[in-house]
Amino acid sequence: MANSSAVTAALRLSEKLPFPLKRLADLAYNYWWSWSGDRIALFQTIDPQEWERCGHNPVAILESASYERLTQLAEDPFYLKQISALAKEFDQYLLQKDTWVSGVAPQLSKDNPIAYFCAEFGIHESLPVYSGGLGILAGDHLKSSSDLGVPMVGIGLLYRQGYFRQRLNRQGWQEDYYIDNPFQHMPIELVKTQNGEPLIIHLDVRQRQVKVQIWQVQVGRVTLYLLDSDREDNDPIDRWLTGHLYGGNLETRIAQEVVLGIGGVRALNALGIQPSVYHLNEGHAAFCTLEVARLEIEKTGKSFYDIEATVRNRCVFTTHTPVPAGHDVFSPDLIDSYFAQYWPQLRLSREQFLALGARRLGDPWEPFGMTVLALRMTRACNGVSELHGQVSRKMWTVLYPQHSEDKVPIGYITNGVHAPTWTAPLLGDLYNQYLGEDWKTRAMLPEMWAKVDDIPDEELWWRHRVLKERLIAYTRYKIRKAREQRGEDYHFIQSTDTLLDPDVLTIGFARRFSPYKRGDLILRDAERAKKIFSNAQHPVQIIFAGKAHPADEEGKRIIQRLMEWCRNSGLNNRVAFIEDYDIYTGQKLVQGVDVWLNNPRRPLEASGTSGQKVCFNGGLNLSVLDGWWCEGYKAGSDGKGLNGWAIGEDAHTSDQELQDRIDSQSLYQLLEQEIVPLYYNQNAQGVSSGWVQMMKTSIKTNAPLFNTDRMIADYVSQVYVPEIAKSVEPILAKVLV
Ligand SMILES: *Cc1c(COP(=O)(O)O)cnc(C)c1O
C-alpha cells in the first residue's frame, strides 16, 4: 500500500511559506481551488506576471515567490482573511459526510470506488494532458463526482509533452511544437512505497519489460492516477511511450493503450484499490477488460469463457465517436506483436483472442476494434446524447444480429459541464445573490434556476458586458503577442489596440478544426458575410480559436482562410483568431461571447459541450440541431427559438455541397433577421430586454440539464449501480438494457 504522498508534497511546500500562508500549500496541491469562487485572485496576487508565465500553476508560483513577496502578503490581513476563509471551506468540503451519494447510493463505498479510465484529462490549464472535448469531459466527470461524493479514482497517462502546441506563421499556416511539462514543479506527486521508492508496475511492451511509475493528482475528493514510462531504467524508446497525447502512429497508439488499459489495472492493484466498477471512457481503455480477466483467471484457475460474465459485470463503457473511422482499430499483425505472449495467459488461442475485437468473424484480415472489444466486455454502454445513442445503435447493429436496430443495447447519457468550473465568478456571485449561496450544489434543480427571473435585467446585462470586455482585452493581448512573435509590421501590431469593440454583438467559435465542423461556414458567401460584419449601424464581430490535427491538411487550410479574413482590411477589426486554444482561452470565450456558433455536419457532433458552458454565462447558442442541442433547443409556437437558434432546422441531405449552402443561408438569415435586430433593440440604458429575456430562458432551460451533476446522477442511477435505477428519477437519459 502506498503513502498518501500528495500530503507530503504539500507539507514540503508549506515549509518554505511564512506561518499564516501555510494553508496555501494544501490549496495548491488540490485542484479544488480552481472551481472555488476565489480562484481568480488567490495565486495571481502573489505575482501576476509570474502567474501568467508559469501557466497558472499554483505550485510553481509558490516555489518561485521571493521571501520578500511572501512576507509582504503574510502581513496583509485582507489576504490572510481570504486564505483562512477558503481553507475553512476546503476543509469542510473534504470532510463532508452528508453528500448527495450518501443519500442516494450508500452502497457505493470508498473501499470499492469507480475506476474511471480515460486517455486524457482536462482538469486545468496548468496540467496540459488533454487535447479537447473528451479530456474536458473527463475532468468535469471527476469534479462532479467529487462534489456529489461519488467514490471515484481516475486513471490516465502523464504525457511528458502533452498535446501539440499551435503557432500560426505569417502565411496563416499552423506550425506544431511541443513543450516539456515540468512534472517536478506541478501540483502532482509521484506515488512512493513505504520505503520511499517510487511505486513501479511492470508491463511487457514490444518484447521488452517497461517500468511505469504513477503520479497522483488531487481533484477535490477524487484522486487521479497518471501513468508515466519516462524513467531512466527504461529503454530510451519506451521512455517516450507516454511522451505525446495522440502524437504517434498506430504502433505508438496501441502501446499507449496497453499502458492505459493493462497498466491502469496493474496500478490500481499495486495501490491496493479494488474498484467496484471499471468505467472505460472511450475505447482507448478497452484493454483494461482483458487485464481484469487475466487477474480473475489467475485467481480462480477458470477459463476465459467461465469468467467472462464476471468481468462484464464489473465493466461499463461510454462511446464518443459517431463515425466508424473514428474508432481505433489495429491490424492482426500489430495485435500479434503486442499480445502473442498475452493471450496464452488468458488461455485463449490467437483466433479466439482476435475474435474479441472483430466486427465480423471468420475473416483473417479483420482488424481488432477497441470499441468492439469494449462492447463485448462491458455490461452497459452509452452514447453521449440522445441522437448519438441512436447513431451508435445503428452503427453497431452488426454486432447484435439477434436485435433490431432500436433494440441494440446502447443507451445514452447526455454530456454536461461542471458548472462551478465554467461559470464566471462574476456571474457566480450574481447566482449567490439571487439563487442562493448553495447554487453550486443544487445545479440539477430546475426550480432553483427558475429564480434567474428575479435578477434585474440591467444587472445581468452589465455583468455579461464586463465579461465581454475582459474577453476582448484578452483577445487583443494574445493577438498582439502573436503578431510580435511573428515579426509583423509595426502598424499591424498597433492595430490590435482597436481590434474588436465591446459595444458590438460578439460571436465565438472555438473547437478543433476538422472539416466536418465547417469552421469557415459563416464566410461561405463572402459578400453577404462582409455586409453582416461591417454593417454601419449594427455590426457583428467573431472570435475564433482551435487547433487542426497535425495530419489534417484540410483543417489547416480552414484556419488559413480564417487568418486571411483577420487580415482583410475591410474587416480587420471584426474578425479575430486566438492561437493555441486551451482551457483558459476556452473559459474566457464561453464567458464573454453573446452568441456561440456551432455548425457541424449532422450527426457528426456526438454531443459537444462548449455550447453548454456558454449557457451558464448568459450566452446564447446558434447551432445546428446536432448533439446536445437537439435536446436543449426550445422553439415557440411561431417556430422561433426561445432559448437560442437552430441553424438549418431539420433540413438534411446527403449532398454536402447542398447542405453547406442550406445551412449557411439559414445562418445568414438568422443573423440578419432575428439575432442582430434583437440584440440592437436597446433602451436608453443600452439594454435589450428581449435579449435578456432569451438569456434568462437559456439559463433556466439548459442549466439544470447540461451540467455534470445531472450527468453523474444519471451514471450512478443507470450505470454504476443498476440495482437502484428505479429509486432515482432519471432526468434525461435512458440506458436500454
Ligand atoms: C469545452 C472544450 C472543448 C470541447 O468543446 P466541444 O463543444 O466539444 O467542441 C474543447 N476544448 C476546450 C479547451 C474546451 O474548453
pLDDT in tens, 38-86: 999 999 999 999 999 999 999 999 999 999 999 999 999 999 999 999 9
What is the atom index within ligand 1 of the atom nearest the CA of 131? 11
Both 691 and 660 in one domain: the answer is: yes
551 domain residue, yes or no = yes
Q: Compute, in angstroms, the gap from residue 597 CA to the centroid of ligand 1.
A: 13
Q: Assess whether 16 and 62 both reside in one domain.
A: yes
Q: Following DSSP, what letter does each residue of 104-133 receive, concatenated?
A: H-TTS-TTSPEEEE-S-B-S-TTS-B--SH
Query: Ligand 1 centre and the CA of 584: distance in Å?
Result: 11
HSE at residue 240, side-chain half, CA atoms within 13 A, is 10
What are the φ and ψ backbone dihedral angles of 223, each rounded to 5 degrees? -105, 135
Q: Which atom in ligand 1 lies closest to the alpha carbon of residue 610?
A: 7
Q: Which residue's CA is the nearest one to ligand 1's atom 1?
A: 610
In a domain, 141, yes or no: yes
Instruction: Identify whether residues 442 and 339 lie together within a single domain.
Output: no
pLDDT of residue 725: 55
Sign of the CA dihedral 258, 318, 248, 355?
positive
Clarify whether residues 437 and 405 are in a common domain: no
Closest residue (by CA) to atom 3 of ligand 1? Answer: 133
Spacing, Cα 122 to ligand 1 middle (Å): 10
Closest ligand 1 atom number to CA of residue 546: 11
Residue 677: Cβ within 10 Å count: 13
Residue 351 lies in a domain: yes
CA of 550 to the centre of ligand 1 (A): 18
Q: What's the grid cell of residue 735?
A: 440506458
Q: What is the pLDDT of residues 416-427, one digit of tens each?
A: 999 999 999 999
Residues lining ligand 1, Cβ inside 6 A: 132-133, 136, 511, 581-583, 586, 608-610, 613
Please tell me whether residues 469 and 367 are part of one structural domain: no
Choose one of 26, 60, 93: the last residue of a domain. 93
Higher pLDDT, 5 or 66: 66
Whether residue 256 is predicted with pLDDT greater than 50 in this model: the reply is yes
Does the pLDDT at position 197 exceed 90?
Answer: yes
At residue 7, the pLDDT reads: 66
341 and 382 co-located in one domain: yes
CATH for 329: 3.40.50.2000
Cα 610 to averaged position of ligand 1 atoms, centre (Å): 5
| Structural domain contains residue 44 | yes
CB 491 within 8 A of CB 480: no
Instruction: For a ligand 1 pocket test, name from 245, 583, 609 the mutation site with the most ligand atoms within 8 angstroms of its C-beta.
Output: 609
The pLDDT of residue 6 is: 55
For residue 427, tell me if it sits in a domain: no
* Range 677-706 average pLDDT: 98
Among protein residues, the one whose CA lies closest to atom 6 of ligand 1: 608
Domain annotation covers residue 173: yes
Pocket test for ligand 1, best of 511, 607, 614, 617 (most atoms within 8 A of CB): 511
Quick: pLDDT tens for 81-120.
999 999 999 999 999 999 999 999 999 999 999 999 999 9
354-410 confidence digits (pLDDT tens)? 999 999 887 878 999 999 999 999 999 999 999 999 999 999 999 998 889 999 999
The burial of 535, by beta-carbon neighbours within 10 Å (0-12 exposed, 13-18 middle, 19 or more buried), is given as: middle
The answer to the question of residue 717 being in a domain is: no
In angstroms, what is the span from residue 590 Cα to ligand 1's centroid?
A: 10
Q: How many CA atoms lie within 13 A of 685 on its CB side?
A: 9
Asked if omega into 603 is within 30° of 0 (cis), the reply is yes
> Would the pTM count as exceeding 0.75?
yes
Q: How far is the CA of 133 from the centre of ligand 1 (A)?
A: 4
Calculate mean pLDDT across residues 253-262: 98
Instruction: Estimate the share of the chain in helix, then strand, then coil, as percent rounded to the nearest 5.
Output: 50, 15, 40
Distance 315 CA to ligand 1 centre (A): 27
The sign of the CA dihedral 319, 128, 423, 709 is: positive
381 and 437 fall within a common domain:
no
Question: Rounded to whole angstroms, how far apart are CA atoms 706 and 701?
Answer: 9
The whole domain housing 73 covers: 7-93
**Would you state the pLDDT for residue 654?**
85
d(C-alpha 197, C-alpha 210), whole Å: 17
What is the predicted pLDDT for the residue at 5?
55
The Å distance, Cα 323 to ligand 1 centre, comes to 19
Structural domains in the chain (count) = 3
Q: 306 C-alpha to center of ligand 1: Å?
A: 42
Mean pLDDT of 483-490: 96
Distance (angstroms) between ligand 1 centre and the Cα of 427 equals 20
Please check whether residues 120 and 89 belong to one and the same domain: no
pLDDT over 50 (residue 729): no
Residues 442, 584: one domain? yes
On whether both 59 and 119 belong to a single domain, the answer is no
Domain boundary among the residues 93, 115, 138 is at: 93
pLDDT above 90 for 182:
yes
Asked if residue 715 belongs to a domain, the reply is no
**Ligand 1: which of 610, 612, 613, 624 to mutate, judged by most atoms within 8 Å of the beta carbon?**
610
The rounded distance, in Å, linking the Cα atoms of 37 and 442 is 16
Residue nearest atom 4 of ligand 1, based on CA coordinates: 133
What lies within 8 Å, CB to CB, of 450 at 6+ separation is 700
The predicted-structure confidence for 499-514, as pLDDT tens digits, reads as follows 999 999 999 999 999 9
Report the atom number in ligand 1 closest to the C-alpha of 517.
9
Q: Does residue 392 share a domain with residue 331?
A: yes
User: Are 72 and 169 members of one domain?
Assistant: no
Distance set, CA 666 to CA 443, 639, 671, 678, 680 (Å): 33, 14, 9, 17, 20
Which pairing describes strands 208-219 and 222-228: parallel, antiparallel, or unpaired? Answer: antiparallel
